[in-house]
Amino acid sequence: SQQGEEDPQALSIQEGENATMNCSYKTSINNLQWYRQNSGRGLVHLILIRSNEREKHSGRLRVTLDTSKKSSSLLITASRAADTASYFCATGALGGSQGNLIFGKGTKLSVKP
Amino acid sequence: DVKVTQSSRYLVKRTGEKVFLECVQDMDHENMFWYRQDPGLGLRLIYFSYDVKMKEKGDIPEGYSVSREKKERFSLILESASTNQTSMYLCASSFSGELFFGEGSRLTVL
């Protein structure tokens, strides 16, 4: 069953702008992860935030987690054309098995040069 | 770097054929997973395994089976392929919660 729901489904911005994607989920989680997928390729792990964390940074990525609202956001600052990809959130359920994640349907990001 | 290798990037099979999708990881991860990805449906878990010879059903196991004879190898088997199994299949491995994916196998069943 799908738990994470990303919003928006598609996002088109100009190079240099910031991109914000949101994810909502339904049940209690152990962690939330963001992945990136280039067209026709496998997914690549970007960042993991645990349920007791509120914010995490990695390079140009900033992830926030609000467990009271069951939501997360991924911010990509100063976007580049190479950031064009689909972005997925995935949740690890509280008490669930390691690595057994539920993925959302993704946000398709297009960054125009 | 962790490497997850899927044996075939593209396959075309006929209805009723037996199909094997192979996945090998080189990081001694205990956990391995098979997902399928379809437009509008996202990633759905087919089967996963936490140890050799061990398997657990995911959300959509019908029409599939798996084999894990060695720790590094996790195979997905379509006993009798059907057109509704045309999809992108993604294998992943994990040790501490983060998934490492292969490049995917795009299967077309005619």
B43-81, pLDDT tens digit by residue? 999 999 999 989 999 989 999 999 999 999 999 999 999
Judged by a CB distance cut-off of 8 A, whether residue B103 touches chain A is yes
Residue B77: predicted pLDDT: 98
Tell me whether the omega of the peptide bond preceding residue A8 falls within 30 degrees of 0, making it cis: yes
Residue A93: predicted pLDDT: 75
How crowded is the C-beta side of A59, counted as CA atoms within 13 Å? 7
- State the burial class of residue A43 (Cβ atoms within 10 Å of its Cβ: 0-12, 13-18, 19+): buried
Q: Is the pLDDT of residue B93 over 50?
A: yes
Chain A residues whose C-beta sits inside 8 Å of any chain B C-beta = 1-2, 30-31, 33, 35, 40-45, 48, 88, 90, 92, 97-106
Percent of chain B's residues with pLDDT above 70 = 98
Q: Nearest CA of chain B to the CA of A95: how many Å? A: 12
The SS3 of residue A113 is coil
Q: Is residue B42 very low, low, confident or very high in pLDDT (cuts 50, 70, 90)?
A: confident
Residues of chain A where predicted confidence (pLDDT) is lower than 70: 1-4, 94-99
